[in-house]
Amino acid sequence: MYLIYFLIGFIATVLGAAAGLGGGIIIKPVLDFWGQSSLELIGFLSAVTVFSMASVSLLRTKKRTIKIEKKQSLMIAFGSIAGGFIGKGLFTILVNHLLPTRIVGLIQSILLIGILLIIVLFIKFRLYVKTYQIKNKLVIFSVGLALGVISAFIGIGGGPLNVAILGWLFSMNTKQAAYHSIFIIFFSQLSAIIITLLTDDILLYDLSMLPVMVLGGIVGGIVGSRLSERLSSLHVEYIFNTVIIIIIVINLINIFQFIQFQTS
């Protein structure tokens, strides 16, 4: 069991660091599919693991030739932190007061599939999509706010959304967007961890798997960042699209399992 959780954290963060996916986009649906943890615990495990990966990846950015546009990325990050509080609050209200947990999980899976399909179409046809160079700070902050709400509610960390939005609004190629995505993910996951610590009693969770997932995230962050340095933008885009398609398939299976559970 420990080996399985380590491999989930490791594989997710290798791909996350290499392609700017963050890892949460992989961890969340895979743990849903595994079915051994609650939605709240899955969100916390994902946030801490991805934060570990992002921390390691950022420590290596000084060796990279691509410059991080810190002003833009920080503004998006601050917006995503604020949005994270809203998204997490919405999730908590739905789970604790309005809907059964499995219904919320179904909503998350459906939303994630819709978002991923839009992202795949954007990446595929990006040459035909008009891109921008947004400079207005309020607009940049608002973009981060929206990303934070969506990512925190679904529990994915925001990696693929970040890459698509950075490509669309700031005319970055996939590799540039992947670097900046990790920068944004660092702050968004830090806020997610803080929110959980402030609003949930984490001592009620079974955190026995957390250390091995964090270890997987650290090792995955090192391997993924080294891999990213050696990959071309085309290779990064290929990894990005392949992982997105796999995650869509896993989410479809999760939805089918949920429907089967409800009708049995």
Q: Which residue has the higher pLDDT, 260 or 92?
A: 92
Mean pLDDT calculated for residue range 208-236 = 80
Cα separation, 86 vs 209, whole angstroms: 28
- Per-residue pLDDT band for 35 (boundaries 50, 70, 90) equals low
CA 219 vs. chain centroid, Å, equals 18
Candidates 66, 52, 46, 14; CA nearest to 174 is 66
Q: What is the pLDDT of residues 170-200, one digit of tens each?
A: 887 777 777 777 777 777 777 778 877 777 6
**Contacts (Cβ under 8 Å, ≥6 apart) of 237:** 123, 174
What is the reported pLDDT for 157? 63
- Identify the weakest region by mean pLDDT among 95-104, 216-225, 238-247: 95-104
Residue 209 pLDDT exceeds 60: yes
Query: Considering the chain, what is the average pLDDT of its residues?
Result: 77
Residue 264 pLDDT exceeds 60: no
Angle of helix 174-199 relative to helix 39-59, nearest 10 degrees, comes to 130
Structure tokens at 145: 């706010």
The percentage of residues in the chain with a pLDDT greater than 70, rounded to a whole number, is 87
Q: Classify burial at 35, counting beta carbons within 10 Å of its beta carbon; exposed 0-12, middle 13-18, buried 19 or more.
A: exposed
Q: What is the pLDDT of residues 126-169, one digit of tens each?
A: 778 788 888 888 988 888 888 878 877 777 766 777 778 888 88
Mean pLDDT calculated for residue range 60-81 = 69
